[in-house]
Structures are given as C-alpha cells and as structure tokens.
Amino acid sequence: MSSMKMVLALCAALAAAAPAGVHAQACSEAGWQGRQVDPVAQGGRLYDKWWTVCGLDEPADTHPSYPAAGKQKGAVTWRCKECHGWDYLGKDGAYRKGSHYTGIAGLERRAGTDPAGIVSILKDPTHRYGERLPDEALLRLAWFVSGGMIDSRGRIDPATKQVLGDPVGGRWLYGHNCIACHGADGQAMNFGSASEPEYLGTVASENPWEALHKLRNGHPGAVMDRERMREARIRMHHHMIAGQPMPPMRMVLSVDQQFDLLRFLQTLPAE
C-alpha cells in the first residue's frame, strides 16, 4: 500500500473509531474542520504542542517525571520535544547539552513499532498522557512516533548546523510552497517579538531540526489570515480560504526536497 493510501485508510479508520462527545472533538484543530487530516502529521503537531492542537488548557504544572537536573519548568516540560528533542534523539542528539538537556533517551528504538504499544507507554506512570489526552490523540501521536519521524543524521551537521541540500532547488520549492505566506525574505511572519524577532531564517539557522519538524508536519495552531490568503491566490492560483492551516510538507515533498528547502531557508535573513 502506498504512503498516501495508508494515510487515507488510517483517516477513515480513525473517523469510524472516534469516540463520541468531547473526545471526538478534542483535537479538532482550528482550520482543519471539514478537511481530511493526515493523522501522522497531526501526531507531529501533538509532539510539538499537544494542548494547542487539542484546544486544551496549557498545563500549569511541571511534568511529575521531568528530571530534577533539567532546567525547564511548567508547561514546556509536558511537550514531547522537550525531552526527546526536535531530532528525536534525546540525550544523544542536539539536546545532549545546554538548557534543554534532560538525560532522557531518544525515540529511535520506537520507530516502526506497534502504535498500540506506544500508546501504552504514553499512558504509563512515567509519561501520564492518558490523564491529559483522549485516546484519539494518543493514537495519532503514536502513529507519528512509529512512522513519522525522520533521521537527519548525515543531513544536518551537528557542529555547524548546516543542512546538506541544494539551496537552488530549495529556492524553487520555496517559491511554489511558502512565499505567499512567509514572503520573499521569510520575514512576513515574526514568530518572536518586536524586540527579539524570529523568522524562518532564524529558526532554520539556529535550530534546523525544529524547522524540519514543522516543515514536515505543520505548526500547531498556525492558520492563514485573509491578507495572506489573498496573496496566495494571486501568487499561487490556489483555491484557499481564510483560516486554512499551514500544510504539512511530509506528503507533498520528497525527503531530498525537504532538505533542499530547509537548506534554502538557511540562506534567508535571520534578523
């Protein structure tokens, strides 16, 4: 079965199995209503910031299992990426030192394993996500861990953070997929603040693993406003509506194209 057919089949299975009431609606993201959702990409957004995806309250407490040696506290400790990293390698990857170090292992050994087993781990006394998330969300998160992660070793230099890719090809991909919302210089959206701006070029250069994760899966809660929607129609001739979310590139671009695009993003101004 092709990847696309597998995703469509999973969408149908999830829809049929979704429990009634609050759980069925818990992860109905803004902008996705009425559209077929790639459950693996949504799992990637849950890995990023699950409460935004599910429309739940941001956790006020620090995760009970967050290591005492860790330097973070509060809601961020409930994000999967905080312990396992944007590269999914935990203590053996980009989070091997620094303010995000926890000493917790990565998820490489879970890739390709039974999603049901991953759901059980997510619900265990260490992870405790069964207390916070509906089964539908846990299943999608498990599908991401099992089949949605990507191995960036050999593609991103851990010392320089430079991506191995073709920026020329990446420029073409950017023009066809990203420029309408992010602008020619990648600065149409400021992810930071006025005093500390953060743009596409900033993230791609400083944390290419995060940029790759969001490129592949989308950003939790990100939707297209009316002005950018109008620009997208003019530039790209797309039939879009206001409030449409950032499309995940996981099923749109090949892996090589994803790294080409990421390499081009590193050429954009960081400030």
pLDDT in tens, 20-38: 333 334 476 766 655 667 8
Residue 245 bridge partners (DSSP)? 223
pLDDT in tens, 114-137: 999 999 999 999 999 999 999 999
pLDDT of residue 15: 43
- Residue 113 above 90 pLDDT? yes
CATH number 3.10.590 given to 167-265: no
- Residue 227 above 60 pLDDT? no
Q: Assign 52 a pLDDT band (cuts: 50, 70, 90).
A: very high
Question: Of 42, 28, 11, which is closest to residue 217 (Cα–Cα)?
Answer: 42
Q: How deeply is 28 buried, as exposed, middle or buried, from its count of CB atoms within 10 A (0-12, 13-18, 19+)?
A: middle
* Distance of alpha carbon 102 from alpha carbon 53, whole angstroms: 25
Average pLDDT over residues 243-254: 84
pLDDT in tens, 67-76: 998 999 999 9
* Mean pLDDT computed over every residue of the chain: 85
Residues 6 or more apart in contact with residue 142 via CB below 8 angstroms: 43, 115, 116, 118, 119, 122
What residues does each domain of the chain span?
A: 3-147, 167-265
* Distance of alpha carbon 78 from alpha carbon 153, whole angstroms: 26
pLDDT of residue 242: 45
Tell me if 249 sits within 8 A of 215, measured CB to CB: yes
pLDDT of residue 200: 95
Q: Using CA of residue 82, residue 84, residue 90, residue 93, what is the dihedral sign? A: negative
Q: What's the CA angle centered on 230, arms 226 and 231, to 5 degrees? A: 120
